[in-house]
A and B are shown apart, each in its own frame.
Chain A
């Protein structure tokens, strides 16, 4: 069974640009979560989607947005990139309920210059 797949793995963007990251969950998983990981802030929750609906949202500015498609694949978008957005963005999927394990992808490394 394939794991969580994130694309692209590495990317470099310029301040002010926007970026879209993609995540394909494990087959059968209907919940997708996104996290930002930085050395100083650790793992910060961005948002969670379940069956195309945003179920939870973290404390990030409106420049960060996401969506989930009917096949459970998810994308997150960051507009007007800032240097501080440089981070590892992790996607995780699960069957959906609180007790279910979430499984992480390898992440997308974003560098903003």
Chain B
């Protein structure tokens, strides 16, 4: 079985400060890890993914994520948050042609 946990329902940061949205996962086999963002009344937009190789993955809009196998984590980060980054963020995991499983989501609010 595969699962994803996003331990924080809500993350608040000030504009210009670094942000981290946490994600841990559980899979059997090699994990494929993804981050998506959802703006109000919209579908999910792909941000970045880890398949293999370098543990630090860079994605859209200045976001990056670090794969940590020993801690089974894939935290999303950005060095300097923007108010426009405020949205709902989902971590997802997939392995062995199973379906993609999503975390419960973390609402990020960036305050000016």
Contact = CB atoms under 8 A, between A and B. Distances in A.
Interface residues of A, number: 22
B43 A42 contact: no
A98 B98 contact: yes
Per DSSP, are chain A's interface residues mostly helix, strand or loop, or mixed? strand
B43 A90 contact: yes
A66 interface: no
A101 B34 contact: yes
Interface residues of B, number: 23
A42 B97 contact: no
Contacts of A4: 43
Interface in B77-97: 90, 94-97
Interface of A: 4, 33, 35, 42-43, 45, 48, 55-56, 58, 90, 92, 97-99, 101-107
